[in-house]
């Protein structure tokens, strides 16, 4: 005779409605490593990573960036070595940023149009090495201007339309040097359409455009400006062309315009403080959407890890999967080689 018959009543939980405990125990799928992997909703791989690199002049030199522990400025020969490393780790692309000699910085940003400038030489060196890797170059004037702004200063303001003319010239020399992707980060109105038209006219129609479509006037960029040497040159701030931190609908308008003008993919910058923007953009437009885990985000995590306040490896991976969860197709991150090694170790 069953216990049910003995007691004269049904088992304790037999009358529970579907969806209630203990019929549903959420912890069942979490109880083992293999089940957690089996049901994972989002995954991170080396394919999702883009490695930003800082280029300096010279040979066989590494110069630490004090505000970004573990990050160094590299001469072109070492940039090529880093690109080899990226290929070996399965990282699909690197993004190059120059630390231009102050003597070459000018009000008109003329070194940006020099086909033999730092990033163009670094790009050709990677191409000459025969590496199967994407090269992303930043389209903006701040590494080349004496005032540190992304555009040309005429009188007391950033002149949008004159800046467009400069950005077109910069884009053409970068594309001709072998850039796979041009990434306009200047936030001038109309620059995607202007650059796309110029590329088409020059027979460079295969060059991709990754627009920094929703780039905010953020305080998280400080260490990056140290790395490219624009911290000391910047006069004023960038709030007349970069976005206000409180705005979200404006980001969607910016993205929509850039897509209409010919962007192949878009970016949100900064990353973690703007995960809501990443999610809205990726859901609204269904276009490859990238996020930049910027220098300030990296520096915060590294500084906390150095003090023993956070477990660096765990917060690194947790922060990166957050971008995937929000809908990002990929992430520009200074953690790229370290994260790729960690992912390779678990394959």
Catalytic residues: 215, 269
Cβ proximity of 220 and 297 under 8 Å: yes
How far apart, in whole angstroms, are the C-alpha atoms of residue 322 and residue 194? 34
- The CB density around residue 241, as the number of other CB atoms within 10 Å, is 18
Contact 147, 235 (CB under 8 A): yes
Q: Dihedral through CA 20, CA 22, CA 26, CA 27, nearest 10?
A: 170
Residues in contact with 47: Cβ distance below 8 Å, sequence separation at least 6, in sequence order: 90, 92, 330
Report in angstroms the alpha-carbon separations of 135 from 76, 80, 181, 336: 14, 11, 6, 15
Q: Which tokens sit at 43? A: 């995954």
CB contact at 8 A, 268 and 275? no
* Beta strand pairing call for 93-98 and 289-293: unpaired
51: which 2 tokens?
């490695």
Spatial separation of the C-alpha atoms in residues 68 and 231, rounded to whole Å: 14
């Amino acid at each position: 005779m069953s216990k049910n018959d003995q007691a004269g009543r049904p088992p304790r939980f037999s009358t529970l409605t579907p969806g209630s405990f203990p019929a549903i125990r959420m912890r069942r799928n979490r109880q083992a490593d293999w089940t957690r992997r089996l049901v994972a909703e989002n995954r991170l791989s080396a394919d999702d990573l883009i490695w930003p690199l800082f280029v300096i002049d010279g040979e066989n030199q590494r110069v630490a960036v004090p505000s970004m522990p573990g990050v160094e400025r590299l001469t072109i020969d070492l940039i090529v070595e880093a690109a080899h490393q990226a290929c070996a780790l399965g990282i699909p692309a690197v993004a190059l940023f120059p630390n231009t000699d102050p003597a070459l910085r000018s009000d008109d940003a003329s070194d940006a149009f020099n086909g033999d400038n730092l990033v163009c030489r670094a790009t050709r060196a990677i191409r000459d090495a025969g590496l199967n890797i994407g090269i992303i170059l930043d389209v903006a004037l701040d590494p080349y201007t004496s005032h540190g702004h992304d555009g040309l200063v005429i009188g007391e303001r950033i002149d949008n339309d004159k800046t467009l003319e400069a950005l077109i010239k910069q884009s053409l020399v970068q594309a001709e040097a072998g850039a796979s992707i041009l990434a306009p980060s200047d936030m001038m109105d109309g620059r995607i359409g202007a650059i796309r038209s110029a590329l088409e006219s020059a027979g460079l129609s295969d060059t991709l455009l990754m627009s920094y479509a929703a780039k905010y006037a953020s305080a998280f960029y400080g260490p990056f400006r140290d790395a490219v040497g624009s911290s000391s040159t910047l006069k004023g701030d960038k709030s007349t062309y970069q976005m206000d931190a409180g705005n979200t609908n404006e980001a969607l308008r910016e993205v929509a315009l850039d897509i209409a003008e010919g962007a192949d993919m878009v970016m949100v910058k900064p990353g973690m403080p703007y995960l809501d923007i990443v999610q809205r953009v990726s859901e609204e437009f269904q276009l490859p959407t990238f996020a930049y885990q910027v220098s300030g985000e990296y520096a915060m995590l590294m500084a906390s890890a150095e003090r023993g306040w956070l477990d660096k490896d765990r917060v690194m991976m947790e922060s990166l999967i957050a971008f995937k969860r929000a809908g990002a197709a990929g992430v520009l991150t200074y953690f790229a080689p370290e994260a790729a090694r960690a992912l390779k170790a678990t394959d």
